[in-house]
A and B are shown apart, each in its own frame.
Chain A
Amino acid sequence: MNYTPFLFVAFCISILVILYLVARLRRVRGQLMIVEEVLDDIKNGNPNRRVLARISDMTKRMCYLINEIAVENQLQLLKQKQSEQAYKRLMTSLSHDVKTPLASLVGYLEAVENGFVTGEEKENYILVAVKKAYQLKYFVENLFEWVKLDAKEQVFHFELCDINELTRNIAAEWISDLESSHFEYEFDIPEDECFVCVDSHTYTRILNNLFQNTLIHSGGNKLNLQLLENEKQIEVIFVDNGKGISAVDIPNIFERMYQCDSSRFAEGNGLGLSITKELVDANNGKIEVDSECGKGTTFRLLFQKAL
């Protein structure tokens, strides 16, 4: 039988196979060169490069992995940049927050010094200047506290405290302020002891912040402080009947520099609640807020009882 046609066919087939393999090889080589170039680019600081791989590529898994690494890298850089930017933003807005009241303070004092005002007006000016100075002082103190917290340099002394007693004492100190601001108040603190492991100083700060917040920002006239105990936790509930916080703002109120009243010229600053949250977190507690516009706000602090 004539074998020639079969040989011919076999020859053709082997040629085709060789061509196919050569094509694959060239493709892989091409891909590797691209990978090299992309990796070089990523190393030089451009994390946006990707290596594209087709489904039939032999190198596809490697390419996908490289892309994943690049994406990770990018996310890290992004987070870093974001926190740098947040810091810069903080500094910028803070400098204005200091410049503006400082300028007006200086204005008032200069007016007194130069004798532009006399008598009762002069007294008024001095009073206003003092108030502004206290504002500045409070602000700068807050700022330092926040910076320390942020840099994790705050030192806490955790010890067993009777949270009921502690709360009672703090609340007592606020009574005069509440009364002068015409606030009705009700404190519902159990008589027995309840021990938690907290830093008493920071707990005081937390409650002070909440009181301050209510007095200045809530716009209401009734305040209710209640401590509720259950088996494992104790809940500190802080209710006011002020103007409340809108649903849009609620997720953000604990962010630094956030102010619900979007004018940047209100009294106070955006740090108070942010500090409060940091302090609560540092004490292994949780803080939640419930509010409805026009109906008031409820802050809830949760602490674990010391067993």
Chain B
Amino acid sequence: MISLIQTEILKFRRQKTGLIMAGVMLLFWSGITFWAYHVPQGDFESFYVRYGGYIAMLLPFMIGLLFVKIYHAEYQNDTLKGLLQVPVTMYQLFFSKIFFVFLMAVIIMLVNCLLVIAAACICGVTDMELHQVVMLIKLFFLAASGMVFAMFPVFLVTVFVSGNTIFSSTVCFIYSLMGIIGVSQFAGIHPISSLLNILFGGQISITGEKSINLVCAADIIIPVIMTAVIVEIFYMVKRGDRFK
């Protein structure tokens, strides 16, 4: 498995995707910083939480699209027949790509931590303390990992259409949009909304009550388990007729 993840990283060389993602992040960051510059700031905590909220909304798109891209790449390059003879099962491939996406998400968020601290300095927020920075990192890290879990349904759809880029990307878009826009309505139903509620509960209309939090957590975890099982069954059934 580790070697699979290493090869995923190797396959990523010379891809424009990395640059595009970095570009989007920077654009976003500069936009928010610019806006925040002209607004009086409260304390550091609310500052970074707000940032985190906005960036967390960007994440689903990036995670989903990245996964669709690397999953589709195997079909596009016809490398599946080579990989399957190593032997690597489709299931292992699936999870190694999820891992890779997870790694990328974590890296993005950690970079964002630095960017937020830089923004804070730019915007003149003065009361930065160590434990707050720790909380910042913790929040961003949870956002990254949580978001990957929340995107499992999109991964499932990608698998089902054998990496058809257009369909999967559309589904990813709609799913992410719904999750973000309906953050209050869909809490407990839509994994993204649930996640946003858990992380940023204080900032959104519904208060972070314990029971709601548990429901939201379950709402994230159950799709993950279901996806894992369904994908396994799917691969077992479809096995062998991948190549007509």
A and B part of one assembly? yes
List chain A positions with a Cβ less than 8 A from chain B: 5, 23, 54, 56
Most chain A CB neighbours (cut-off 10 Å) among B1, B3, B134 = B3
With both beta carbons as reference points, the residue of chain B lying nearest to A27 in the complex is identified as B2
| Interface residues in B117-139 (C-beta closer than 8 Å to A) | 134, 138
- Cα-based distance from A54 to B3 in the complex (angstroms): 9
- Cα A56 to Cα B1 in complex, Å, equals 12
Q: Which residues of A contact B1 (CB under 8 A)?
A: 23
Whole-angstrom CA separation of A5 from B142 in the bound complex: 14
Q: What's the tally of chain B residues with a CB closer than 8 Å to chain A? A: 5
Query: 7 A-B residue contacts at CB 8 Å?
Result: A5-B134, A5-B138, A23-B1, A23-B2, A54-B3, A56-B2, A56-B3
Least CB distance from B193 to A in Å reads 27
Cα-based distance from A59 to B183 in the complex (angstroms): 52
A56 to B6, CA, bound (A): 11
Q: Chain B residues with Cβ under 8 A from A54's Cβ?
A: 3
B102 to chain A, nearest CB (A): 14
Give every chain B residue within 8 A of A56 (Cβ-Cβ): 2-3
Enumerate chain B residues within 8 angstroms of A23, measured Cβ to Cβ. Answer: 1-2
Smallest CB separation, A10 vs chain B (Å): 14
Query: Which partner residue on chain A sits nearest B3 by CB separation?
Result: A54
> Which of chain A's residues has its CB closest to B86's CB?
A52
Shortest C-beta distance, B174 to chain A (Å), equals: 35
Complexed CA–CA distance, A23 and B2 (Å): 10
Nearest A residue (CB) for B138: A5
> Which residues of B in the span 1-27 have a Cβ within 8 Å of any Cβ on A?
1-3
| Assembly CA distance A23 to B4 (angstroms) | 14
Q: How far is the CA of A5 from the CA of B138 in the complex (A)?
A: 10
Please measure, in the bound complex, the distance between the C-alpha atom of A23 and the C-alpha atom of B138, giving whole angstroms. 28
Q: Which residues of chain A come closer than 8 Å to B134, judged between CB atoms? A: 5
A181, B156: Cα distance in complex, Å: 93
Q: A residues within 8 A CB of B2?
A: 23, 56
CB distance from B3 to the nearest CB of A (A): 6
The 4 closest A-B pairs by CB, nearest first: A54-B3, A56-B3, A23-B2, A5-B134
